[in-house]
Structure 1
Amino acid sequence: MANIDDWDKRFPVSEGLRPGIALLQDMCASFASQLVVQPQTITHENSETATAIDGIADKPTIAGKLNPQLQFLRASPQLSARRNASLRNLTVLARAASPSLRPAVNGTAELGALGTVTGSETEPPLTAGGVMGAMETPAQFLEWYGRVEEAEAAGQDAEALAFASQLRERVSQCSQMLGCLDDISSLLSAMEADYQRVCQQTAGVESACASLSAQRDKLDRVASEIGEQLTVYNWLGPITRLLHAPGDRVCEDPEFLPSLDRTEEAIRFIESRVEETKDSELYLMRFAQCRMRALSLMKMHALRAFKALGAFDAKGPAVYVHYRAAAVALGPLLRALQQRGTQATTERQVLVDVQNAYFATRRAWLRPHIQARLRDIAAEHEAEKEAAVLERRVGALRDWCAFMMAVCADESRLYADFFDSDSEGESGLRSFLDSAMTLFHEQVRPLVIHESDVAVLAGLSLTLLTYNRMLPSASEDAGTEEDVDDEDSEDVDGLDAFYAVVGHVLQDTQHRLAYKAQSYIRAHIGGYRITPSDTDAMARWVRVCLRLRIAAPAQLSTLLELPEDLSPDDAKCLQWIYPPVENCRWLIAQIDGCLDYEVQSGVVDEARTASKQNLLSIGARFVRDSSIKSDNPITEADAELMAHLFATHNLVAIEYSTSP
């Protein structure tokens, strides 16, 4: 059997219960001391503890009143361990307080206060009022000890009872809270039901409102359609009164164009509802008559305005000022007519008549003005007697081009003040400007055809190139042919007609220049014949070279390094160049940039080839013969060297001439 001291180890007690156990042990110690040292009769009038100890006869009653939870706690091992510990403490205290407890006599121990057999059988036991009293048998002792233990257990369970009472209070409170929660849950359920009912009612109201809104919109559309129909038919009276108002300035009324727009809108409206409306055909005819009346008024007003502007043209001054002033009032009418000209045949015919009247009015003034101005420019340059022919011809062409460019630009801007840009209008303007540029072509082309001077033709070509439209060259990647065609067809500030005529005149001039350049090559380069002046110049050149040969024979093979003591006349003589070579250099300088690249390259190559052939066949042979027949004759080898030097010097001059 395990030692009783191991109970604490086998049944450990938590830290929270140790204070209560210590208090219980203290109470048991004091109670055991009273029980052993001062035996007395304990009445039922004492405390609950005395009642539990003395009321042996009342044990069943007391046991019946114990809490079942306390009986369970007594049956637990931990409470049994504590009960055994209390018993041991009680025994120790009893032995320490009573001297009647003696060691064992004749091999038996005395229990003393415990009421067991003592060492002396003759010693009388304690009375009932003492410790043992009537406890003469172990059964009585155990019964008495049971009552003591129950009383002790009741004292030990006081804390548990208090805690249980507190738990019962908490249970009661929780029950009350659960009741409140049930009430709240019932209230929320009722509120949710009310909310669902309100949502259903709201949905019904919304559906009803949507239905009413749809009906209202339908009624509004019907009312709008009815009002629109009534409004369209009500337009007829005011429009008719406006178009038949007396006077010639009905078109200048601010309500004229809005009335025309309303007329066309009414025609479209009635045409879409011919079968739905009563008397629709009658109203359609009346509105069509109003439209024709408006178009006729616009045409008459425009013709009348152009006629009045033609009267200003006859007077001359400030022509463009009057036209631009008239365009402020007439332009909106003509643009409105032009917009309608793409929709119906009648409006298009009216627009064509108005544009023809405009171009006729401008042409009647512009042609005499251009002819007179071109003649005046030519006369001004011919009057400059001090200037050379090249300067007079080139100056006249430059002024003609500038004048015609200004005329085309001004006419294009003036047309834009009256009309919008469209295909038909642009074609009419182009025809009008082409007729004006014909006068320029008739004035310039004879000047080019009858010109024979290469320098003058080169100057004319360069001037025309200045005023010609720049197009992508063949050597550059200018894109597709379609892009080039689009660029050619694009009207830049209305100068298409001007550029077209300038391009034709430029082609004629370049052809004429190339032809005259070839004639010049044949006459003055390839077929050049030495003149007496050339013979004298060659003789001087030979004499200087021979003199230099006497001073420094090595210099006879080159003219790049000349003596420092050479006189200016000798230096000038040595720089003399063979005339065909000089003519080749002059021709190349004249045509540089005046012809197409390929044509110019061909002319330059032809001039250089002809110059070289003339130099080698005529010039070098003549120098050799002149060197041998000079006053200081030289050997034939030296003469050949002189001819070679002459040819080399002139060939270098050809190669360093201006090239394309």
Structure 2
Amino acid sequence: MAAVYESLASCLGQRFIILVFFALQFFSWFLKLQTQMDQGERAKHMKTRDHLNCYQEQCDAILNDVNAALEHLDSLQKQYLFVSNKTGTLHEACEQLLKEQSELVDLAESIQQKLSYINELENINRFILALSLRKLNSPTLSVNSEGFIPMLWKLDDCIEYVSSHPNFKDYPVYLTKFKQCLSKAMHFMKTHTVNTMQNLTGQLTKRDPLGLANADNAFTLCHVKFRAAAPKVRTLIEQIEQRSERIPEYHQLLEEIHQCYLDQREQLLRPGITATITDLTSQNYKDHCALVRSGCAFMVHVCQDEHRLYAEFFSKPTPRLHGLLEKLCLSLYDVLRPFIIHVIHLETLSELCGILNNEMLDDHVHNNTGQLGAFDAGGREEDVQERLVYRTHIYIQTDIIGNNPAPGDLAYPEQLEMMEKIAQSLKEEQIKLMAHESSFSDVQLEYPEGRRASRIDSSRLQPSISPADLHGMWYPTVRRTLVCLSKLYRCIDRAVFQGLSQEALSGCIHSLLKASDVILKNKTQVDGQLFLIKHLLIMREQIAPFHTDFAIKEISLDLKRTRDAAFKMMNPKSVPSFFRLNSHNAILEFLLEGSPEIKEHYIDSKKDVDRHLKFSCEQFIQQQNQLSVGNLDEFLTKVSALKTTVIQGGPTYGLSQQPWAQPAKINDIVMATYRVMKSKLPSTLQSMSLYLANRDAEFILFKPVRNNIQQVFQRLHTLIQEEYSGEDLQIIACPSMDQMNLLLSVNK
């Protein structure tokens, strides 16, 4: 091993020496190379330094030149600022001079403008003076000239301007002068307008003073003349109307012109209207409706014509026209009122209300309230209504509540039977006439089979009018009540109609009850009941179309508390001890507790009709039930009472052991009931058909009776099937339910 190590060490030492040798050679080469590189770079840096030094010298020269230039620029800037300041000062001085010049010009214009309103005073005075003197006979100096209206505008502007500057030196003086000019101009306008209207009136009255009121063309001539003169003053009136809202003087002038116009119209119209109404009164002296209709139509035309004529002169309305037309309409009312207050017939009064309400107010006034408002105010339709209400009260008291029926009015059912015979005879004659016409068919034009059959069938199928449905066959109070309500319904106010209808229906019901009692005593109970039911049905059917309530509110004073408090005060024993100390306490209690009560309650006549109808029908049904199966129902009631006694612990013997429940006794009751039904029901149904004449009403009224009969016999069948044997059933011989249904169906 040692030899090996030594050989290795020798080998490694040789290699190390070789490496060191090569490294020394490398470092020497590198040092040489580095020295060469340093020398080459230094030469470049030196050259560069020389160049930079040259550049530095050039920059120093340039910098010196720049400094010299800056010094020159500073000198120039100082000189520029000096010149600029001088120039700005001069410019400001010029602007100030221009501004002062503009202010002086504006001041001069303002002074000139203010003086222009003052200077116009002389022109306006000259124009007005020329109008007042009228030296030249030329239309250019009249109020209708072209220069008058511009002068008015200038005058308005001057007054408005001076009024808005009270700080002027001579403000009161100039305002007074302008006002004087305005007063003179308005005087000219008023004089021209009033003279034009008065001249028209003078021409119309001078033409024929008496004939103007009687001639047929008087109103036409009057309107034509005024309409032709309207353009002469319309322009001036328009100027006045335009200024009337902002200038009080013009408003007063317009009022005076309105009054003048209306005075002239009244002076012309009143005689003609009076004469026309007098002629209408003489022509329709006995026909009040024709008089009211023609008079109202005449006044409607007068109102419409006057409104149209007023629109020719003026563009703004005035309440004075309404007052004039209302005054003229009152002249018609003054003539009609004496006739109206003497009318006693409800038909005439209701027709008068219809004329005023429907023909005049609804058809004319309500569609043109602007022109016919005065007619509405002067028509006084309320007076006719008041007269109608008054006469209706009297009519209800005398002809409905105080009705004294004649023997013929209570002749029931004779009236209906007579009318039925007459209707039957007319029907037979009609059938004979049809048969007679068919026998001559060979000489007439032949119709196709279908058409001839349709003619015959249609004539045969026409329903005949029952006597009970005829208006003339109604009881007089019913007929009068319904006619009265039909006349009042569209003539008077709803509230008044409700009160009158309640009074009329209550009186009518009371009269029907009295008549029913009389018929019930003189004839039969069925006649009395069916008479009442028939007329109550008529009333309910006839008042149904009235779309109003038949109810009124009544206020009553309840003195029950006052009575009780008085009894307590008069009876000391009933008063508590602390109230019995002295009399003053009792009086105090009376004052505190004894105040009367005010109660309100409603009376509805329509419900009263329904209530009486319901009660009458129930009474009729109850009476028919008692008449038909009353005995049998009493027997079944006794049976029910016997069963109740047994259940509560009474004797236990059976129903067949009772003397009153023997089969023979039951047979007597059943046979008697069956005979009564067989004999009475047909006559009752015939009376129902005669009185009611309505299949539906007859069926509804008889249905509870039929149902009750069926129920009673059904209960009887159930009872005898449970309590009696076969032999007893044969003895009882109760009709079967099929037999009863057959009997009731035949009589239905």
TM class, shorter-length: 0.5 to 0.7
Residue 643 of structure 1 aligns to which amino acid in structure 2? G
CA distance in 1, matches of 2:296, 2:302: 10
Per-residue Cα deviation, 1:614-652 (whole angstroms, up to 9, x for no partner)? 1111x223433453xxxxxxxxxxx11221111111111
- Aligned partner of 1:259 in structure 2 is 151
Q: Give yes or no for contact 2:234–2:313 (8 Å, CA) kept in 1.
A: yes
1:634-653 to structure 2, matched below 5 A, reads 639-653=524-538
* 1:458 is the counterpart of 2:355: no
**Aligned equivalents of 2:169 and 2:150: distance in 1?**
27
Measured in 1, the distance between the counterparts of 2:343 and 2:157 equals 65
Equivalent residue, structure 2, for 1:475: none
Q: Which moved more, 1:258-267 or 1:339-348?
A: 339-348
Structure-2 residue corresponding to 1:35:
none
Which AA in structure 1 matches 2:376?
Y
Correspondence for 2:191 among 300, 309, 316? 300
- Give the distance between the partners of 1:498 and 1:613, measured in 2 at CA: 43
Given the two structures, how large is their TM-score scaled by the length of structure 1? 0.56
Q: Distance in 2 between matches of 1:204 and 1:217?
A: 20
In 2, Cα distance between the equivalents of 1:336 and 1:266?
A: 17
1:429 maps to what in 2?
321
Gaps of 5+ in 2: 1-12, 208-217, 422-459, 549-748
- 1:357 equivalent among 255, 260, 266: 260
1: CA distance, partners of 2:278 / 2:513: 51
Paired position in structure 1 for 2:490: 593
Partner of 1:7: none
RMSD over equivalenced CA pairs, Å: 5.3
d(CA) in 2 for partners of 1:650, 1:509: 32
Aligned to 2:126: 237
1:493 to 345, 365, 370: 370
The answer to whether the Cα contact below 8 Å between 2:410 and 2:519 also exists between their aligned partners in 1 is no
The secondary structure found in structure 1 opposite 2:492 is coil
Partner of 2:441: none
Instruction: Give the conservation status (yes or no) of the 8 Å contact 2:412–2:519.
Output: no
Say if 1:431 and 1:585 are closer, same or farther in 2 by CA, change over 3 A. Answer: closer
Contact map agreement 2:482 2:539 (CA 8 A) in 1: yes
User: What amino acid maps onto 2:530 in structure 1?
Assistant: L
Q: Could you tell me which residue of structure 2 aligns to residue 71 of structure 1?
A: none
1:620 has 2:516 as partner: yes
Q: Deviations over 1:256-279 (max 9, x none)?
A: 13223434554666786897469x
Q: How many angstroms does 1:526 deviate by? A: 1.9
1:447 corresponds to? 339
Whether the aligned pair in 2 keeps the contact of 1:335 and 1:420 (CA below 8 Å) is yes
**TM-aligned CA distance change 1:364 to 1:433, over 3 Å:** same
Alpha-carbon distance in 1 for matches of 2:159, 2:313: 28
The AA in structure 2 aligned to 1:251 is: V
The code of the aligned residue for 1:309 comes to L
Structure 1 CA distance, aligned partners of 2:247 and 2:463?
A: 87
- 1:294 Cα deviation after fit: 2.3
Question: Residue 586 of structure 1: CA displacement?
Answer: 1.0
Counterpart code for 2:266: R
Q: Which structure shows the bigger proportion of residues in helix conformation?
A: 2
Deviation, structure 1 residue 432: 1.8
Letter in 2 for 1:620: S
- Alignment check: 8 A CA contact 1:337 1:347 kept: yes
Question: Is the 8 Å Cα contact of residues 588 and 657 (structure 1) preserved in structure 2?
Answer: no
Shift of 1:582: 1.4
For 1:461, give the aligned amino acid: C
- Distance in structure 2 (CA, Å) of the matches to 1:195 and 1:498: 95
Shift of the 499–202 alpha-carbon distance from structure 1 to 2, 3 Å rule, reads: farther
Letter of the 1:151 counterpart: Q
- Letter paired with 2:484: L
| Equivalent-residue separation in structure 1 for 2:328 and 2:357 (angstroms) | 21
- The one-letter code of the counterpart of 1:374 is I
Tell me the secondary structure at the aligned position of residue 593 of structure 1. coil
Percent identity, aligned pairs only? Answer: 22
Q: Which amino acid aligns with 1:403?
A: F
Shift in Å at residue 581 of structure 1?
1.0
CA distance change for structure 1 residues 207 and 509 in 2, over 3 Å: closer, same or farther?
farther
Q: 1:616 to 1:276 in 2, by over 3 A?
A: closer
The alpha-carbon distance between structure 1 residues 115 and 597, as it changes in their structure 2 partners (threshold 3 A), is closer
Equivalent residue, structure 2, for 1:64: none
- Are the structure 2 counterparts of residues 113 and 506 from structure 1 closer, same or farther at C-alpha, using a change threshold of 3 Å? closer
After superposition, the Cα gap between the structure-2 partners of 1:227 and 1:536, relative to the gap in structure 1 and judged at 3 Å, is closer
Match of 1:525 among 400, 404, 420: 400
Quote how far apart the aligned CAs of 1:216 are: 0.9
Query: Cα deviation per residue 1:54-85 (whole Å; 9 max; x = unaligned)?
Result: xxxxxxxxxxxxxxxxxxxxxxxxxxxxxxxx
1-side partners of 2:225 and 2:81: how far apart?
A: 82
Structure 1 residue 216 corresponds to structure 2 residue 93: no
Determine if contact 1:581/1:650 at 8 Å carries over to the other structure.
Answer: yes
Q: Distance in 2 between matches of 1:579 and 1:591?
A: 18
1:413 to partner: Cα distance = 4.1
Match of 1:371 in 2: 274
Indicate how the Cα distance of structure 1 residues 244 and 625 shifts in structure 2: closer, same or farther if over 3 A, else same.
same
Gaps of 5+ in 1: 1-102, 117-140, 383-388, 471-487, 547-564, 628-638
Q: CA deviation at 1:440?
A: 1.9
SS of residue matched to 2:370: coil
Counterpart of 2:678 in structure 1 is none
Letter in 2 for 1:600: F
> Residues 86-107 of structure 1, C-alpha deviation per residue, up to 9 Å, x if partnerless?
xxxxxxxxxxxxxxxxx97997
CA distance in 1, matches of 2:259, 2:156: 26
Amino acid at match of 1:596: D
Equivalent position of 2:725 in the other structure: none
Q: Which amino acid aligns with 1:582?
A: R
Q: Are the aligned partners of 1:239 and 1:259 in contact in 2 as well (CA < 8 Å)? A: no
Equivalent residues in 2 for 1:26-105 (5 A)?
none
Number of residue pairs matched by the alignment: 460
Structure 1 CA distance, aligned partners of 2:345 and 2:34? Answer: 158
Question: Does 1:334 find its partner at 2:237?
Answer: yes
The 3 A distance-change label for structure 1 pair 397 and 214 is farther
| 1:94-148, Cα deviation, whole Å (9 max, x unpaired) | xxxxxxxxx97997899699889xxxxxxxxxxxxxxxxxxxxxxxx95x86443
Match of 1:150 in 2: 35
Whole-angstrom distance in 2 between the partners of 1:570 and 1:262: 88
Distance 2:115 2:369 in 1: 49
TM-score (normalizing by structure 2):
0.50
2:608 equivalent to 1:608: no
Distance in 1 between residues matched to 2:542 and 2:146, nearest whole Å: 73
Per-residue CA deviations over 1:19-59 (Å, capped at 9, x if unaligned) read xxxxxxxxxxxxxxxxxxxxxxxxxxxxxxxxxxxxxxxxx
